[in-house]
Structure 1
């Protein structure tokens, strides 16, 4: 695995546990030569993540739409900054440049990006690992809702199980690096054809 796209928030609540987890995550990524692809921001969890990765000598590619660059929220010190014309191009480019997806705490945008790539995996449009770094149980209610979806038969257990949910960055990275599923396997599981 050479690159991971990290989705996370443009706000940061100052949680020292999250900060320590980001430090550990970026240390492990840089040690393994895994580059960071992210939304290009200089603020919030995004900015913290990029700064930690850069401080360890890791490569960081930011992808940001022009309207956010115009608001001066783009990071100025990245390895590479790609400016897109809109949000859709941004998300496509982030996915194209990444070999896996990792989710940190965030808001609406983070959830929207997470569910988009998860839906793409369910449909067999990619076979890249998806992991949630669930610091302090931030996403516990989200995973509980997924369990309700399975119980109510709106989601198959095989697809619920496509997401790794861990609080330890090292364990999460290890699981993501060992993920293997062909698009056809994922799709056929969903359709009850195997």
Structure 2
């Protein structure tokens, strides 16, 4: 892997472990010379993952829609900050720049990004590994629900197997 997109929250969440793990993800990617592609903000877990990578001398590319420049507060210390017009263009650009996908804790936007990437994979639009870093069991209930979608016949088991899951970033990268 040469580059990975990390989808995660623009806030820190309710526990320090989310920030700590986001920073660790950034540092780990930089140490492995994997370019970080992310949402371009300095806030929340997005800022933490970027700062972690930058502290280790990593290459960090942010992709931010113009309308979020002040709301999410654009990170000014990145290797490159790309501006786009829409949220859809943001995901498309991130997908174009990466060869793998990691999902950290986040809100509706993070979930939407994850589901779009897995949908694109099931449709054959990309063959990139998709990993969930299940920090502090954050995604446990979602994973149960996804299994229910398989059990009820709405998702094929083979598509569920496209999602790689770990509680540890090193292990997740090995799986990917």
TM bucket (normalised to shorter chain) is over 0.9
Q: Is the 8 A contact 1:9 1:110 kept in 2?
A: yes
2:18 maps to 1:13: no
TM-score (norm 2): 0.96
Q: Tell me, which stretches of 5 or more residues in structure 2 are unaligned?
A: none
Matches within 5 A, 1:151-190: 151-176=151-176
Q: Is the 8 A contact 1:3 1:97 kept in 2?
A: yes
Q: Who wins on radius of gyration, i.e. which is larger?
A: 1
Q: Tell me, which stretches of 5 or more residues in structure 1 are unaligned?
A: 177-194
Q: Is the 8 A contact 2:4 2:98 kept in 1?
A: yes
2:124 maps to 1:124: yes
CA distance in 2, matches of 1:38, 1:158: 28
Q: 1:23 to 1:86 in 2, by over 3 A?
A: closer
Q: Paired residue for 1:188?
A: none
Q: CA deviation at 1:24?
A: 3.0
TM-score (norm 1): 0.87
Q: CA RMSD in A?
A: 1.2
Q: Is the 8 A contact 1:24 1:170 kept in 2?
A: no
CA distance in 2, matches of 1:122, 1:107: 23
CA distance in 2, matches of 1:170, 1:18: 16
2:98 maps to 1:98: yes
Q: Is the 8 A contact 2:26 2:51 kept in 1?
A: no
2:134 maps to 1:142: no
Q: 1:58 to 1:14 in 2, by over 3 A?
A: farther
Matches within 5 A, 1:2-81: 2-13=2-13, 15-71=15-71, 73-81=73-81
Q: Is the 8 A contact 2:10 2:44 kept in 1?
A: yes
1:1-53, Cα deviation, whole Å (9 max, x unpaired): 11000000011025232233233322321121101000001101101111111
Q: Is the 8 A contact 2:103 2:132 kept in 1?
A: yes
Deviates more, 1:84-93 or 1:126-135: 84-93
